[in-house]
């Protein structure tokens, strides 16, 4: 039997000071061009927490607004703040930076993170009131320390400063004297990822109502590597985050595949459940500090706010078929193989039409495609175009080449089967997954039949191969509990029968 | 940035008149920026080509000047689908503008 | 003789446009000598 999509959570973390101090565009600029105009102008273009909460794409990410709301609100959103927007939504929340630092400190198991006393006391009041912060988590919060001690560790021991409102409020220490894989910078990056992943797990428990002990396995699919110099990507961010989230019955492991990792991870999780190995598997990811402000130079140059100011996180629960929740079709996944070729048409063929052909479906039989859902508000000013739209056009263009669509239908296709992107440019975060919350809702209420989630990854960035990568999977309205091999819809079966009848008739004609 | 260094090294090694840069940018603006970098110099002042006007010959793969030289079947297989996706006219406009201003070869 | 015969070609592809290896396949058919091929990623 196919596994099902039981629920998903989505979280954002407002990270303006992390953007300035940890984003690679900024850290690189400080090395190459320390007195640059960009660095001096940048602080003026940072958004406040309220701005970030009032930003429509962020409200879509946490499920308070829908992709349709986004489409109805024009083509830019930074200039249209929502009134009365709430930091909490049906899928998760937007966490302010100060509370997140406390969560990061709670996630530190090696006494590497400390916060300043006054800051810590102030944040703790709000942290304690957070609806998902329990005794277990509060017990991991350390007391704040004197600012003098913090400055000493930052200045003399190469610790990374933790900044809030441009003030030093804490440190992350290095975990080894000479191992660069345990440097303060790497520990900061990994703890930020672990903490945002943990936050997503906490929300997933709430969204799905699953008991913590029922989660048997967690797969982390973020883009960070944890380990020391003998195993730089040794891993298990999954188990580290599961521990803090209190999932005591879970083991786990990490899957890394650049931005495509989340789609790979869901395929793995679905197979683990469909095979009967586990009943409940969670796919989760935290955010990336490195990518904060990645296109900041272009945003500042165009006098726009620096909108890559949030880290993203998500968690998805995949469970044994309950006869109701949308099914993940394990037998009909798409994959870009080593020999697929790197041209865009080869990639789209491998990811989209190969699995559809296997099911006997046409391109238009997928109601909604969710490829990389980057928010165009961020990418267009940076010269990267509208990534989801380009993907929809590629799918439609392939449809034209295959004779399934007319060239004049391309725009209509992208509107009907596509969506406008709302995810922050956090690499793995936009990769198809952000639609899963809505996909489940739409299928449960019968509005759509099936959706294809497409993850793509730029393997060449790691300099090990020039290959591109991608995988895809189909989520489909539950057809009642049926064997996995049977998971195609009735009209598909009819079409397959009709097709074979035609072929039979044709072959008889030839004879 | 690493690419800028490579481009500079190849221009030194082979002579700028023998080097042709072919770009595949998704947008007119990004195409123009890449073209400007290898002709007039890095307009963002970030990389090794800052202030270095190589004036190299540069094209986008979707321009006729390149397309006409490529084997038709190979072009069809590798690029043609993207002609329906990219705004080729805008890309050509940007490329023409940069070439007429800064290209030396 | 083609326009690119014997030219040293440097390819700067784009993950969301035309990737480096696809351009490389094309340029190999022109008589040009591809000396470098890369792909950029903005997202």
pLDDT at C22: 95
Structural domains in chain A, CATH included, are 3-502 (3.40.47)
- Chain A nearest CA to C33, separation (Å): 19
Local structure of residue A323 (DSSP, 8 states): S
Taking the C-alpha atoms of residue C24 and residue C34, their distance in angstroms, rounded to an integer, is 7
Residue B20 contacts C, CB cutoff 8 Å: yes
* pLDDT higher than 90, residue B31: yes
B-chain residues near C3 (CB < 8 A)? 65, 69
**CB contacts < 8 A (B, C):** 102
In the prediction, which pLDDT does A507 show? Answer: 67
| pLDDT over 80 (residue A429) | yes
Separation of CA A460 from chain center: 20
Q: Please check whether residue A187 is in contact with residue A194, taking contact to mean a CB–CB distance below 8 angstroms.
A: no
Contact A458 C21 (CB under 8 A): no
Q: For chain C, which chains pass the contact test of at least 3 CB pairs under 8 Å?
A: A, B
pLDDT at residue B36 greater than cutoff 60: yes
Show residues of chain B in contact with C36, CB under 8 Å: 6-7, 10
- The whole-number pLDDT of residue A78 equals 97
Query: Between chains, do B82 and A397 touch, taking CB under 8 Å as contact?
Result: yes
Please tell me the predicted confidence (pLDDT) of residue B63: 97
| CB-CB under 8 Å, A394 with B85 | yes
Q: Is the pTM of this model over 0.80?
A: yes
Contacts of B79 (CB under 8 A, 6+ apart): A343, B61, B62, B67, C18, C22, C23, C26
A201-235 confidence digits (pLDDT tens): 999 999 999 999 999 999 999 999 999 999 999 99
Judge: B70–C8 Cβ closer than 8 Å, yes or no: no
Q: Cβ contacts (< 8 Å) between A396 and chain B: which residues?
A: 84
- Give the pLDDT confidence score for residue C2 in this predicted structure: 84
CA distance B19 to chain A (A): 22
Burial of A135 (0-12, 13-18, 19+ CB in 10 A): exposed
DSSP result, B52-84: -----EEEETTSHHHHTTS-HHHHHHHTHHHHT
Model confidence band, residue A367 (pLDDT cutoffs 50, 70, 90): very high
From start to end of A214-272, where are the E strands? 217-220, 251-254
What's the Cα-to-Cα distance from A377 to each of A80, A85, A393, rounded to whole Å?
A: 12, 19, 18
How would residue A494 be classed by pLDDT, with cut points 50, 70 and 90?
confident
Residues of B with CB under 8 A from a CB of A: 25-27, 29-30, 33, 44-46, 77-82, 84-85
The ipTM estimated for the assembled molecules is 0.93
Q: What percentage of chain A exceeds 70 in pLDDT?
A: 96
Cβ atoms within 10 Å of B29's Cβ, excluding its own: 19
Give me the sheet containing A113-115, strands edge to edge. A113-115, A167-172, A160-164
Q: What is the number of other CB atoms lying within 10 angstroms of the CB of residue A96?
A: 20
Coil, strand or helix at A98:
helix
Beta strand segments in A201-279, E: 217-220, 251-254
pLDDT of the residue at C41: 78
Q: How far is B49 from chain A (nearest CA, A)?
A: 13
**Which residue in C has a C-alpha nearest to residue A430's C-alpha?**
C43
Query: Which of A29, A297, A401 lies closest to B81 in CB terms?
Result: A401
pLDDT tens-place string over residues A133-143: 999 999 999 99
Residue A384, chain C, CB below 8 Å: the answer is: yes
pLDDT at residue A90 greater than cutoff 60? yes
Model confidence over A241-292: pLDDT tens digits?
999 999 999 999 999 999 999 999 999 999 999 999 999 999 999 999 999 9
Question: d(Cα A290, Cα A426) in Å, to the nearest integer?
Answer: 9
pLDDT score of A44:
97
pLDDT given for residue A483 in this prediction: 45
Q: Check residue A316 and give its pLDDT.
A: 98
Q: What is the count of structural domains for chain B? A: 1
Average pLDDT on A44-72 reads 98
pLDDT tens-place string over residues A443-460: 999 999 999 999 999 998
How many CB atoms within 10 Å of residue A505? Answer: 9
Position A295 pLDDT exceeds 90: yes
Q: Which domain holds residue B45?
A: 2-102
What are the residues whose beta carbons fall under 8 Å from the beta carbon of A343, sequence distance 6 or more? B77, B78, B79, B81, C18, C19, C21, C22, C25
Cβ-based contacts of A411 with chain B (< 8 Å): none
Question: What does the pLDDT average to over A367-374?
Answer: 97
B70 inside 8 A of chain C by CB: yes
Cβ–Cβ < 8 Å for A358, A344: no
Per residue in B69-92, pLDDT (tens digit) is 999 999 999 999 999 999 999 999
Task: Tell me the C-alpha distance between A382 and A297, whole Å.
Answer: 8
Does A98 score more than 90 pLDDT? yes
What would the mean pLDDT of B31-38 be, rounded to a whole number? Answer: 93
Exposure string for A452-487, b = 16+ CB within 10 A, e = fewer? bbbbbbbbbeeeeebbbbbbbbbbbbbbeeeebeeb
Report the pLDDT averaged over residues A313-325. 98
CA-based nearest distance A424→chain C, Å: 10
Q: Pick the range with the lowest mean pLDDT from A387-396, A481-490, B72-81.
A: A481-490
pLDDT value, residue A498: 73
Residue A510 has pLDDT above 60, yes or no: no
The residue count for chain C = 43
Q: Is A372 on the interface with C (CB under 8 A)?
A: yes
Select the residue of A383, A385, A397 nearest B81 (Cβ to Cβ): A397
Which residue numbers of C have CB closer than 8 Å to A's CBs?
A: 15-16, 18-22, 25, 37-39, 41-43
Report the length, in residues, of chain B. 105
* Mean pLDDT, residues A394-422 taken together: 96
Q: Does residue A43 carry a pLDDT above 80?
A: yes
Q: Is the pLDDT of residue B5 over 80?
A: yes
Q: Return the pLDDT at A511.
A: 41
Q: A147 phi and psi, to 5 degrees?
A: -60, -30
Mean pLDDT of chain A: 95
CA A24 – CA A189 distance, rounded (Å): 11
Contact A383 B44 (CB under 8 A): no
What is the mean pLDDT of the segment spanning A62-76?
96
pLDDT confidence band for A495 (50 / 70 / 90): confident
Rounded Cα–Cα distance for residues C12 and C19 (Å) = 8
Query: Average model confidence (pLDDT) for chain B?
Result: 93
Q: Please tell me the distance from the alpha carbon of residue A428 to that of residue A339, in angstroms, as a whole number.
A: 24
Report the pLDDT value the prediction gives residue B1, as an integer from 0 to 100.
67
Determine whether the interchain pair B81/A407 forms a contact, defined as Cβ–Cβ distance below 8 Å. Answer: no
Is the confidence at residue A500, as pLDDT, over 90?
Answer: no
Predicted local confidence at residue A484, as pLDDT: 46
Determine the residue among B48, B85, B87, B94 to mutate to test chain A binding: the one whose Cβ has the most chain A Cβ atoms within 10 Å. Answer: B85
């Amino acid at each position: 039997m196919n596994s099902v999509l039981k629920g998903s959570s989505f979280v954002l973390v407002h990270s303006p000071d992390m953007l300035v101090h940890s984003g690679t565009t900024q850290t690189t600029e400080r090395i190459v061009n320390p007195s640059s105009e960009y660095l001096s102008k940048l602080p003026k273009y940072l958004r406040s927490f309220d701005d970030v909460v009032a930003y429509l794409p962020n409200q879509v990410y946490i499920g308070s607004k829908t992709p349709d709301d986004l489409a109805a609100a024009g083509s830019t959103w930074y200039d249209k703040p929502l009134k009365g927007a709430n930091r909490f939504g049906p899928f998760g929340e937007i966490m302010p930076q100060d509370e997140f630092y406390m969560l990061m400190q709670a996630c530190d198991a090696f006494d590497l993170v400390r916060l300043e006393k006054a800051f810590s006391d102030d944040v703790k009041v709000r942290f304690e009131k957070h609806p998902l912060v329990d005794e277990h988590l509060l017990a991991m919060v350390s007391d704040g320390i004197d600012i003098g001690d913090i400055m000493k560790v930052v200045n003399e021991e190469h610790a990374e400063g933790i900044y809030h409102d441009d003030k030093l409020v804490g440190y992350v220490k290095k975990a080894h004297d000479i191992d660069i894989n345990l440097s303060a910078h790497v520990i900061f990056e990994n703890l930020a990822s672990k903490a945002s992943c943990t936050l997503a797990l906490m929300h997933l428990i709430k969204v799905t109502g699953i008991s913590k002990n029922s989660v048997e396995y967690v797969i982390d699919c973020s883009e960070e590597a944890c380990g020391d110099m003998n195993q730089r990507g040794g891993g298990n961010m999954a188990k580290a985050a599961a521990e803090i989230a209190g999932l005591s019955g879970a083991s786990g492991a990490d899957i890394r595949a650049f931005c495509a990792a989340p789609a790979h991870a869901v395929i793995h999780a679905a197979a683990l459940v469909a095979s009967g190995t586990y009943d409940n598997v969670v796919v989760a990811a935290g955010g990336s500090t490195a990518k904060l402000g990645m296109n900041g130079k272009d945003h500042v140059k165009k006098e726009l706010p620096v909108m890559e100011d949030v880290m993203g996180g998500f968690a998805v629960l995949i469970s044994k078929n309950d006869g109701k929740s949308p099914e993940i079709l394990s037998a009909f996944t798409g994959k870009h193989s080593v020999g697929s070729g790197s041209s865009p048409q080869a990639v789209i063929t491998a990811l989209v039409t190969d699995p559809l052909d296997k099911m006997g479906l046409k391109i238009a039989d997928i109601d909604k495609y969710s490829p990389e859902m980057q928010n165009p508000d961020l990418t267009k000013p940076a010269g990267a175009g509208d990534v989801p739209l380009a993907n929809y056009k590629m799918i439609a263009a392939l449809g034209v080449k295959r004779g399934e669509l007319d060239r004049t239908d391309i725009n209509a296709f992208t509107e009907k089967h596509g969506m406008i992107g709302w995810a922050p440019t956090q690499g793995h975060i936009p990769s198809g997954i952000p639609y899963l919350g809505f996909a489940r809702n739409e299928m449960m209420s019968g509005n759509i039949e099936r959706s294809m989630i497409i993850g793509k990854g730029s393997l060449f960035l790691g300099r090990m191969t020039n290959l591109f990568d991608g995988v895809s999977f189909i989520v489909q309205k539950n057809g009642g509990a049926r064997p996995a091999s049977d998971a195609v819809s009735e009209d598909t079966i009819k079409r397959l029968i009709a097709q074979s009848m035609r072929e039979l008739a044709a072959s008889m004609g030839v004879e | 940035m690493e690419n800028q260094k490579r481009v500079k090294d190849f221009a030194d090694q082979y002579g700028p008149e023998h080097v042709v840069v072919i770009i595949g940018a998704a947008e007119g603006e990004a195409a123009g920026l890449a073209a400007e970098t290898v002709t007039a110099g890095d307009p963002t002042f970030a990389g090794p080509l800052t202030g270095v006007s190589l004036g190299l010959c540069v094209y986008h793969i979707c321009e006729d000047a390149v397309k006409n030289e490529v084997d038709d079947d190979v072009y069809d297989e590798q690029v043609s689908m993207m002609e329906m996706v990219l705004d080729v006219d805008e890309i050509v406009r940007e490329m023409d503008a940069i070439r007429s201003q800064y290209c030396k070869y | 003789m083609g326009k690119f015969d014997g030219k040293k070609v440097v390819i700067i592809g784009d993950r969301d446009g035309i990737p480096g290896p696809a351009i490389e396949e094309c340029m190999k058919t022109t008589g040009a000598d591809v000396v470098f091929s890369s792909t950029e990623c903005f997202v």
